[in-house]
C-alpha cells in the first residue's frame, strides 16, 4: 500500500472509533484511538509512551530518535478526540467514514483526524527508513476539544519533558484566500487568540413578584449590562500579521487602508468577513444568562457569562478595562469574575520551521503567496509556545478550497474531507518532515 492508502485506512479507523469529547472527564475515551495508533506502529523501532491522567483519556507519544543531538527536533501534535454530533442533522452515519463522490464523511475528518493520521503515517515511514538526523516525535493527544486539561495542558504542566516542544506542527493551515485578482495565497496559522471568559454579576432587591413597585430589578440591570456590552466599541488590533492578511486580497489602496485601520466594511472579505473581524479584534460573545428560579420571586442576583477572546497584544487587564468602559456608570455595580483565562500565543513568521513550511508550500503551489494568520479558536500549540517553542498549523488543500470552506467544516453537520486534500497533505508532510529532520 502507498503512504496515502495507509493514511486513509488509518483515518477511517480513527473516525469509526468515535472518541467523542462532550467536555466531561469520562467522555472522549481516546484510549480507542491510542490503541489503534499503537497497532499502526507495531513492528517499527519507535519509542512509545502512554500518558493517562484519567481512565480512558490516553495520549500516546511515538519518538524516532535522531542521530545528531545538535540537529533540530520536530514534534507533530495531533489530537484524537472529536466533538459531539447531532445525528438527526446528518445525512450519513457520522462515524461511518464513508467515501462519497471523492469525499470522506465523518466527525473529525477535518478537525483534525486527517492531519493526525497523516502525522502518524509519515512518522512511521521515517521510522521504517532508519533514524533521521533530528529527533521526530508524533503525539496523539487526548482532550484537545476541552482545551487540553487531560491532554496537552496536563502534559505541559506535569510531564513537560515527555517530548520536545521546540518545533511543532499541528492544526490547521494550507487553505487558500479568495483574492480579488485571482492570484493564489495560502494561509498558515502562526498564533491564536487567548481566552478571557468572564461572568458579570449584578445584585437587586429580593421580594414577592406581586409587589414590584420601587424595586431594583436584577433582571433589568443584567439586561442593561448585556446591551452595553453589545454596544462596546472595540478597536482593531492592527499588526504585521493583520496587515499582511489584508494585503493578500489585493484590494484597491483605499479599501486596503480602511480595512487595516478597522474603519472599512468587512463584507469586502466575502465569506471570510466573520473570520477577518475576529482575527483583528478582541471579541465578546454573550453566551449564558441566568436569573431567578421561581416565577413569583424577584431574584436578588443575575449574571451573564461571556466568551471573550483577546487578540494578540491584549492582556487580561486590557479586557477588564474594555468591559468597564463599556459599562460606564454601571461598572461599580457589576462584579467581574474570571473563568477560563489564557494569554494569546504567537510564533514568529521566521526561523527554520517557518522557512520549511514556505518552501514546502511552494513545491505544490509555486505561484502562491504565503500568508501568516491567527487562529480565532484554540489549539494544543499554545502549550508548547508557553514553554518556549514555536508552532504552526500545517496541512495543504487544493486551490478550490478557500479558508472559508475549510473552516466551515469544523464542528459542522455532514463534516467531510476532500480526498484530494488528504493526498496533498500527506505529500506535503512527507516533504517537510524529510527536509527538516533529515530523514
Name the band, by pLDDT with cuts 50, 70 and 90, for residue 372.
very high
Among residues 322, 342, 362, the one where a domain terminates is: 342
Q: Domain limits at 373?
A: 3-179+345-437
pLDDT of residue 238: 83
Beta bridge partners of 140: 60, 78
Residue 185 CA to residue 182 CA, distance in Å, equals 9
Give tens-digit pLDDT for 266-322. 999 999 999 999 999 999 999 999 999 999 999 999 999 999 999 999 999 999 999
Please provide the DSSP assignment of 93-105 as one string: -TTS--EETTEEE
Residue 269 lies in a domain: no
Residue 362 shares a structural domain with residue 319: no
Taking the model in full, what pTM does it have?
0.94
Residue 336 shares a structural domain with residue 397: no
Give the mean model confidence (pLDDT) for residues 169-182: 95
Give tens-digit pLDDT for 333-362. 999 999 999 999 999 999 999 999 999 999
Name the band, by pLDDT with cuts 50, 70 and 90, for residue 82.
very high
Checking if the pLDDT of 407 tops 90, the result is no
Residue 249 lies in a domain: no
Give the mean model confidence (pLDDT) for residues 167-174: 95
| Cα four-point dihedral sign 190, 406, 31, 153 | positive
Checking if the pLDDT of 408 tops 90, the result is no
Name the band, by pLDDT with cuts 50, 70 and 90, for residue 409.
confident
User: What is the domain count for the chain?
Assistant: 2
Q: What cell numbers appear for 56 in the block? A: 480512558
Share of the chain above pLDDT 70, in %: 100
Q: What angle do the packed helices 3-16 and 114-128 form, to 10 degrees?
A: 130
Residue 243 lies in a domain: no
Closest CA to 394 of 124, 115, 135, 166: 115
Residue 266 lies in a domain: no
Residue 390 CA to residue 165 CA, distance in Å, equals 8
C-alpha distances out from residue 253 to 176, 238, 249, 370, 382, Å: 22, 17, 11, 20, 35
pLDDT of residue 172: 86
Residue 9 shares a structural domain with residue 152: yes
pLDDT of residue 1: 78
Cis peptide before 282 (omega within 30 of 0): no
Residue 175 CA to residue 408 CA, distance in Å, equals 12
Residue 145 shares a structural domain with residue 222: no
Report the CATH number at residue 425: 3.40.630.10
Name the band, by pLDDT with cuts 50, 70 and 90, for residue 377.
confident
> Between these two residues, 408 and 82, which has the higher pLDDT value?
82
Residue 175 shares a structural domain with residue 79: yes
Checking if the pLDDT of 78 tops 90, the result is yes
The answer for 44, left when phi > 0, alpha when psi is -120 to 50, beta otherwise, is beta
Residue 199 shares a structural domain with residue 114: no
Residue 242 CA to residue 255 CA, distance in Å, equals 14
Residue 211 shares a structural domain with residue 317: yes
Give the mean model confidence (pLDDT) for residues 54-61: 98
Q: What cell numbers appear for 53 in the block? A: 491522567
pLDDT of residue 307: 97
Residue 103 shares a structural domain with residue 139: yes
Give the mean model confidence (pLDDT) for residues 205-217: 95
Residue 273 lies in a domain: no
Residue 136 shares a structural domain with residue 40: yes
Mean pLDDT (the chain) is 96
Residue 338 shares a structural domain with residue 360: no
Residue 206 lies in a domain: yes
Residue 23 lies in a domain: yes
Give the mean model confidence (pLDDT) for residues 80-103: 97
Give the mean model confidence (pLDDT) for residues 30-39: 98
Name the band, by pLDDT with cuts 50, 70 and 90, for residue 122.
very high
Residue 150 CA to residue 54 CA, distance in Å, equals 7
Among residues 303, 320, 342, the one where a domain terminates is: 342
Name the band, by pLDDT with cuts 50, 70 and 90, for residue 439.
confident
Among residues 306, 327, 342, the one where a domain terminates is: 342
Residue 211 shares a structural domain with residue 167: no
Report the CATH number at residue 337: 3.30.70.360
Cα Rg of the chain (Å, integer) = 23
The answer for 374, left when phi > 0, alpha when psi is -120 to 50, beta otherwise, is beta
Residue 244 lies in a domain: no
Q: Assess contact for 179 and 249: CB atoms under 8 A.
A: yes
pLDDT of residue 378: 87
Residue 312 shares a structural domain with residue 423: no
Checking if the pLDDT of 391 tops 90, the result is yes
Q: What cell numbers appear for 28 in the block? A: 472522549
On the CB side of 384, how many CA atoms lie within 13 Å of its CA? 27
Amino acid at each position: 500500500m502507498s503512504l496515502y492508502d495507509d493514511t486513509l485506512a488509518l483515518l477511517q479507523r480513527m473516525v469509526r472509533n468515535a472518541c467523542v469529547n462532550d467536555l466531561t472527564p469520562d467522555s472522549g475515551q481516546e484510549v480507542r484511538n491510542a490503541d489503534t495508533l499503537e497497532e499502526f506502529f507495531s513492528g517499527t523501532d519507535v519509542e512509545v509512551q502512554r500518558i493517562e491522567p484519567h481512565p480512558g483519556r490516553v495520549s500516546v507519544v511515538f519518538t524516532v530518535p535522531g542521530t545528531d543531538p545538535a540537529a533540530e527536533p520536530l514534534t507533530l501534535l495531533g489530537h484524537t478526540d472529536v466533538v459531539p454530533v447531532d445525528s438527526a442533522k446528518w445525512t450519513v452515519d457520522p462515524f461511518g467514514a464513508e467515501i462519497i463522490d471523492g469525499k470522506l464523511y465523518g466527525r473529525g475528518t477535518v478537525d483534525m483526524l486527517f492531519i493526525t493520521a497523516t502525522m502518524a503515517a509519515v512518522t512511521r515511514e521515517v521510522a521504517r527508513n532508519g533514524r533521521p538526523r533530528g529527533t521526530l516525535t508524533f503525539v496523539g493527544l487526548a482532550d484537545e476539544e476541552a482545551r487540553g486539561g487531560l491532554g496537552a495542558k496536563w502534559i505541559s504542566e506535569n510531564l513537560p519533558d515527555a517530548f520536545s516542544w521546540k518545533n511543532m506542527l499541528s492544526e490547521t493551515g494550507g487553505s487558500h484566500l479568495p483574492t480579488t485578482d485571482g492570484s493564489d495565497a495560502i494561509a498558515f496559522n502562526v498564533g491564536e487568540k487567548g481566552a478571557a471568559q468572564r461572568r458579570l454579576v449584578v445584585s437587586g432587591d429580593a421580594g414577592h413578584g406581586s409587589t414590584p413597585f420601587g424595586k431594583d430589578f436584577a433582571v433589568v440591570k443584567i439586561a442593561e449590562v448585556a446591551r452595553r456590552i453589545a454596544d462596546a466599541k472595540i478597536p482593531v488590533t492592527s499588526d504585521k500579521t493583520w496587515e499582511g492578511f489584508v494585503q493578500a486580497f489585493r484590494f484597491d489602496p483605499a479599501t486596503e487602508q480602511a480595512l487595516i485601520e478597522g474603519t472599512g466594511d468587512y463584507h469586502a472579505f466575502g465569506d471570510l468577513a466573520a473570520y477577518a473581524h475576529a482575527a483583528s479584534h478582541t471579541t465578546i460573545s454573550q453566551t449564558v444568562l441566568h436569573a431567578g428560579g421561581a416565577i413569583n420571586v424577584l431574584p436578588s442576583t443575575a449574571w451573564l457569562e461571556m466568551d471573550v477572546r483577546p487578540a494578540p497584544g491584549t492582556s487580561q487587564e486590557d479586557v477588564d478595562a474594555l468591559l468597564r468602559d463599556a459599562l460606564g456608570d454601571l461598572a461599580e455595580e457589576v462584579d467581574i469574575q474570571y473563568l477560563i483565562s489564557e494569554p494569546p500565543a504567537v510564533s514568529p513568521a521566521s526561523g527554520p520551521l517557518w522557512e520549511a513550511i514556505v518552501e514546502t508550500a511552494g513545491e505544490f503551489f509555486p505561484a502562491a503567496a504565503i500568508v501568516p494568520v491567527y487562529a480565532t479558536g484554540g489549539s494544543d500549540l499554545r502549550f508548547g509556545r508557553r514553554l518556549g517553542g514555536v508552532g504552526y498549523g500545517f496541512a495543504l488543500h487544493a486551490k478550490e478550497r478557500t479558508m472559508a470552506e475549510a473552516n466551515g467544516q469544523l464542528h459542522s453537520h455532514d463534516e467531510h474531507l476532500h480526498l484530494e486534500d488528504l493526498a496533498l497533505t500527506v505529500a506535503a508532510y512527507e516533504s517537510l518532515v524529510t527536509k527538516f529532520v533529515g530523514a
